[in-house]
Amino acid sequence: MATPTIKKISSDSAQYGERVTLVEPVNIYGCTLGDDVFVGPFVEIQQGVKVGDRTRIQSHAFICELVQIGEDCFISHGVKFVNDLFSQGGPARGDKSLWMPTLVGDRVSLGTNATLLPVSICNDVVVGAGAVVTRDITEPGVYAGNPARKIRDLHD
């Protein structure tokens, strides 16, 4: 009988600002977390990710490589980021040149189970629960649906 490879929960090689809170278990490596960042349990934040000051990341979120998140953001439970669009018909299988970045501005709230493909989101945006963001969001507002579309201004 074979022996499995066991990888332990870690927070290795990450850079932390002041007053960062991590709730175990987490898997965080090679990323940068700003001041006063909160990370809930069962979160994975991969290498090269940058998270701005005062951002909260709730449980079960997955933040893959090539993601940058601004300041004062809220990443709700189960939010998923995608950096590989299977442009060659399947997973890139280690060819990171096929991966694409995601940029999230300041004061952005991502609802529970939202999914973000490689996009850019401007400041002051709310993305509803379960939304799938497939295109850049270039104006502030509230976005929902699959694909996500603007449903109203923030202060209607």
d(Cα 62, Cα 48) in Å, to the nearest integer?
Answer: 14
**Each residue of 61-116: pLDDT tens digit?**
999 999 999 999 999 999 999 999 998 888 988 788 999 999 999 999 999 999 99
Find the mean pLDDT for residues 141-150. 98
- What pLDDT sits at residue 9? 65
d(Cα 144, Cα 27) in Å, to the nearest integer?
Answer: 29
Find the mean pLDDT for residues 142-150. 98
Domains of the chain, with CATH numbers?
Answer: 15-150 (2.160.10.10)
5 pLDDT exceeds 90? no
151 pLDDT exceeds 80? yes
Q: How confident is the model at residue 136 (pLDDT cuts 50, 70, 90)?
A: very high
- What pLDDT sits at residue 11? 72
- What pLDDT sits at residue 27? 94
- What pLDDT sits at residue 156? 60
Closest C-alpha to 75, from 41, 48, 112? 112
Q: What does DSSP assign to residue 107?
A: S
- What pLDDT sits at residue 93? 86
20 pLDDT exceeds 90? yes
- What pLDDT sits at residue 8? 67
DSSP codes of every residue in 9-78: -B-TT-EE-TT-EE-SSEEE-S-EE-TT-EE-SSEEE-TT-EE-TT-EE-TT-EE-TTEEE-SS-EE-TT
Find the mean pLDDT for residues 4-20. 83
Q: Find out whether 50 and 32 touch, Cβ atoms under 8 Å.
A: yes
Does pTM surpass 0.85? Answer: yes
10 pLDDT exceeds 80? no
Q: Find out whether 84 and 98 touch, Cβ atoms under 8 Å.
A: yes
